[in-house]
Amino acid sequence: MFFSNKNVLIGVTGGIAAYKSAEIIRLFKKDGADVRVVMTESAKEFITPLTLQAISGNEIHDSLLDARAESAMGHIELAKWADIILIAPCTAETISKITHGRADDLIGAILLASKANKYIAPAMNMNMWTDESTQDNYNTLLKRDLSFIGPGIGEQACGDIGPGRMEEPDKIIDFIKSTFKSGPLSGKNITITAGPTREQIDPVRFISNNSSGKMGYALADAAIEAGAFVNLVSGPVSIKANKHANLIKVNSAKEMLDKVVKSMNDSDIFIGCAAVSDFRPSGYSDRKIKKEDIKNIDIHLKKNEDILSYVASNYPEAFVIGFAAETADVNTNAKKKLKSKNLNMIISNDVSDKSIGFDVDHNEVNVITNKETIFLKKDKKIRIAREIFKIIASNI
């Protein structure tokens, strides 16, 4: 599901092509996206809010001054919520308002406040599209952070034939997918470790580290969005991997190291996000140890190979990134690891804060290199992961 973990905001404006918006929503939902819809008043003349609400599964937003929306998910919250914003159909009037930074309706205000990827699917009469004013607005927006999808060429509702038709829903979806696939890490191979490892004491008992795998799996999603090929070497977790990742399941630290070594032969970047067990039992009982058979038990431990240090030492051409989950002196300890393990980058977080880190969907981190420390404030792990890859892309 290409758009899993992605929040898509669709703006519907007043044009006959508004009926196609229902199919666009359906396709996004089918591909895993959470979809919310903003409608202009004129859009309601062409398709009912109830139709789009039923397809999206979410309440329709339509007013900048709706007190109920402001208290729950107003234009600022919607702007922060969205990963992708698509205006489809987008009329000549709306293109003009966007060009001039107008924020007198909900769509305009959201566009100004959001850092999401923004797309416009124009729909209008061919003469309106080719008019000098519209073309000036179009060329102005091309210089900004908006991507145009179409318009297509063909027969229009008025009977004219020419440019101005809104592109078909499947083409719109394919275009948006293509922009993610050709991201800043296109052509790069990345190996990411995630989750815990388990070191067996006997067939039913083990020692392990705390990790849900959510951060590592979010990194895999973000890397794939950025165009990379991803080897995801994962310990036992209960979450589902992106179907585009090369998922390699392991149990112990030794198994993880072995799979990492194989993956690193073709990898440009390594991210050690797994909570690898530092120690393993020096002995293993192939039968369950019965508690009634022993009065006390001593488990002797020996150190596991440090996977992060091993990769940094043996693959000098790779860009190597570590994670430092700390409970005190977070950045100080992280910087020590950065130098002692000869890493290119380390990402630190304070796991003593129960709202971030282990077993939750949010994180707050510092991205540390030898030159700078960049603070990424608390946000969903997938968004933190996307910001991390922006920083990685600027450093490789």
Per-residue pLDDT tens digits for 264-289: 999 999 999 999 998 888 888 888 88
State how far the alpha carbon of 16 is from the alpha carbons of 29, 62, 98, 155, in Å: 23, 18, 20, 13
Look up the pTM and report it.
0.70
Q: Is 2 among the domain residues?
A: no
Could you tell me if 254 and 340 lie in one domain?
Answer: yes
- Domain end among 161, 181, 201: 181
Q: Is 99 among the domain residues?
A: yes
Q: Is 216 among the domain residues?
A: yes
What CATH number is associated with residue 359? 3.40.50.10300
Domain extent, residue 128, equals 7-181
Could you tell me if 156 and 238 lie in one domain?
Answer: no
List all residues 6 or more positions away from 59 whose beta carbon is below 8 Å from its beta carbon. 53
Could you tell me if 319 and 379 lie in one domain?
Answer: yes
Could you tell me if 12 and 97 lie in one domain?
Answer: yes
Q: Is 1 among the domain residues?
A: no
Strands 205-208 and 198-202: antiparallel
Among this protein's residues, is 158 annotated catalytic? yes
| pLDDT tens digit sequence for 70-96 | 454 567 888 888 989 999 999 999 999
| First-last CA distance in the chain | 29
CA 97, 94, 158 angle in degrees (round to 5)?
140
- Report the alpha-carbon distance of residue 376 to residue 358 in Å, rounded: 17
Could you tell me if 37 and 107 lie in one domain?
Answer: yes
Could you tell me if 237 and 111 lie in one domain?
Answer: no
What CATH number is associated with residue 168? 3.40.50.1950
Could you tell me if 146 and 222 lie in one domain?
Answer: no
Could you tell me if 158 and 197 lie in one domain?
Answer: no
Domain count, the chain: 2
> What tokens were used for 48?
């009912």
- Domain end among 154, 181, 208: 181
pLDDT in tens, the chain (396 residues): 678 778 999 999 998 999 999 999 999 999 889 999 999 999 999 999 999 999 999 999 988 766 665 454 567 888 888 989 999 999 999 999 999 999 888 999 999 988 889 999 999 988 999 999 999 999 999 988 789 999 988 777 767 777 889 999 999 999 998 887 667 888 899 999 999 999 988 888 888 888 899 999 999 999 988 889 999 999 999 998 888 899 999 999 999 999 999 999 999 999 999 999 988 888 888 888 887 777 777 888 899 999 999 999 999 999 999 999 888 888 899 999 999 999 999 999 888 888 877 778 899 999 999 999 999 999 889 989 999 999 999 898
Could you tell me if 137 and 193 lie in one domain?
Answer: no
Active-site residue, from 158, 161, 239, 301: 158
Could you tell me if 312 and 230 lie in one domain?
Answer: yes
Q: Is 124 among the domain residues?
A: yes
- Domain end among 181, 198, 216: 181
